[in-house]
Amino acid sequence: MTLGSTNTVLSATTSSANLGLMQKTNLLGLSINDLEAKMVMLGLPKFRARQVWRWVWRHGLTNFDEMSDLGKPARGQLSKIFSADRPMVSQRLQSIDGTIKWLIRFDDGNEAECVYIPDKTRGTLCVSSQVGCTLTCSFCHTGTQKLVRNLTVAEICGQVTLAMDELSDWPSGKPKRRLTNIVLMGMGEPLFNYDNVAAAMRIIMSGEGVAISKRRITLSTSGVVPEIKRCGEDLGVNLAISLHATRDDLRNELVPINRKYPLAELIDACRNYPGLSNARRITWEYVMLDGINDSDEDCRALLTLIKGIPSKLNLIPFNPWPGSPYICSSNDRIEAFARRVLNAGYASPVRKPRGRDILAACGQLKSESQRARRQKTGVSF
C-alpha cells in the first residue's frame, strides 16, 4: 500500500513461526478444524481437538492440568506442544466511567491497544487488527506511527480472551455476560488484514466458544472497496465506514485511501453490501472537524450521499492529540449537525466520548507510552 505513506510494512508472522521448532503453537489462533488437523498430524486422536477447544474457548482455561476429561498422559503431551497464552499487558488504565484500556505487548515487542467500553445494556470491546496503520488519515494518531505489521489470528483473539479473563466472563455461555459486542475499530485497517481478522472472528463467533453473533460484531474500514463485498458475503458482520467527507477533494486529504477508491466506488460497494436491510444498516462514521466538514451544507451533502442506503450515522467529536492539525467542532455545531441528521430520520447520532481521562482515543495510549520511553532513553523513533 503506498498512497503517500512513509510507514514500513513488515510481513505477518504467526506467533510460532520464525522462532524455531521448540515454540509451542498458540491454541488461540486455531479453529476447531485446524486443531483437528494438528492432532491427526501429531498422531493423536482427533476427538481431543474438540475437548481441548471447548476448555479453551468455553471455560478460558490456559492450564492443561485443569482439563479434567483428558487423561494425565494426554495433558502432559499436549502441554508440551500447545499453549493458550494471552498477550502481555504493558499498561492497563481504567477510566472513572468504567472504560478499561490495555496496551498490549506481543512476543516481538510490538504493541497495540484494546479498549473495553461498558454501557447500560452492553459491553463493547474495541479490538486492534494491526500494529500501527499504513494509511495516513490526517486526523488519526495511529496513522502517525511508523512501524506496521498485521496481527496474527492468535494476537487478535488474544485481545478477546484477555478481556474475558479480566471481566470474569468465563464460562462464555453464562447469562449476563459483560462482553457482548466487538468492534474492529482499534489500531489498523482490518480489511488490509482480512484473512486473519476473518479467521479470528469465526473463532469468536463459534457457538462452541465465545459465541458472539455476527450481528454483534462491527468491522470499521476506511474504504478498502475490493474487500467490502467479501466481508459481507463471507463473514456477514456489520459494516462501519469511516466516511468523514462527502467530496473527493476533501476526503483525499482526510482519508487518503480515497485517492485509490473514490467516493462513488465506495458508496456503490456499500449500497450492494450483502445482507443489507433496515435491521442491518451501514454505520457511517463522521469525525467532526471545526470549519472543515461541519457546515449545514456538509450535512445536506452527507444526507444526499447516503440516501436510499439503510444507514446509521455516528458523529464522532474529534479527539485531538499533540500536534494534530484540527480542532473539534463546537458543541453547538455538533448539536446543530445532529439535529439535521435526526430530522432526516436517523436516530441518536453523536458518539459519547469515553475514557478521555485515559487517552482512550485510537492510537493515543501507544504514542504516549512511546513518548515517555523516548524521554527516558533519548531514543528517537
| Closest CB to ligand SF4 among residues 3, 19 | 3
Amino acid letter, residue 31:
S
143 binds, among ligand SF4, ligand SAH, none (CB under 5 to 8 A by kind): ligand SF4
Question: Given the rule CB under 6 A, which of 1-9, 133-141, 152-160, 275-283 is the region that contacts ligand SAH?
Answer: 133-141
| Closest CB to ligand SF4 among residues 29, 143 | 143
State yes or no: is 285 an active-site residue.
no
Give the C-alpha separation, 101 to 92, whole Å. 6
The nearest distance, CB 188 to ligand SF4, in angstroms, is 6
The nearest distance, CB 210 to ligand SAH, in angstroms, is 21
State yes or no: is 155 an active-site residue.
no
Tell whether residue 133 is a contact of ligand SF4 (CB under 6 A).
Answer: yes
Q: Is 291 left (phi over 0), alpha (psi -120 to 50) or beta?
A: left
For 85, phi then psi, to 5°, come to -65, 140
What string of DSSP letters covers 21-45?
TTSPEEGGG--HHHHHHHHHHTT--
Question: Given the rule CB under 6 A, which of 91-99, 215-223, 275-283, 334-342 is the region that contacts ligand SAH?
Answer: 215-223
| Closest CB to ligand SAH among residues 70, 112 | 112
Question: Given the rule CB under 6 A, which of 44-52, 68-76, 136-144, 150-158 is the region that contacts ligand SAH?
Answer: 136-144
**Which DSSP helix (H) or strand (E) runs through 250?**
helix 248-254
Provide the mask over 230-269, with x wherever binding to ligand SF4 is found by CB under 6 A and - wherever it is not.
------------x---------------------------
Give the C-alpha separation, 370 to 209, whole Å. 35
Q: Which of 114, 137, 270, 362 is catalytic?
A: 362
| Closest CB to ligand SF4 among residues 137, 269 | 137
The nearest distance, CB 147 to ligand SF4, in angstroms, is 14
Tell whether residue 223 is a contact of ligand SF4 (CB under 6 A).
Answer: no
User: Residue 233, class by beta-carbon neighbours within 10 Å (0-12 exposed, 13-18 middle, 19+ buried)?
Assistant: exposed
Please, what's the b/e burial string for 283-300 (b: 16 or more CB within 10 A of its CB; e: otherwise)?
bbbbbbbeebbbeeebbe
User: Residue 114, class by beta-carbon neighbours within 10 Å (0-12 exposed, 13-18 middle, 19+ buried)?
Assistant: buried
Angle at 213 between CA 212 and CA 214, to 5 degrees: 125
Tell whether residue 218 is a contact of ligand SAH (CB under 6 A).
Answer: no
Q: Which of 113, 155, 189, 285 is catalytic?
A: 113
User: Site for ligand SF4 (CB under 6 A): which residue of 26, 172, 222, 246?
Assistant: 222
Contact (Cβ atoms closer than 8 angstroms) between residue 244 and residue 211 = no
Angle at 190 between CA 189 and CA 195, to 5 degrees: 135
Residues that bind ligand SF4 (CB under 6 A): 133, 135, 137, 140, 142-143, 188-189, 222, 242
Would you name the residues annotated as active-site residues? 113, 362
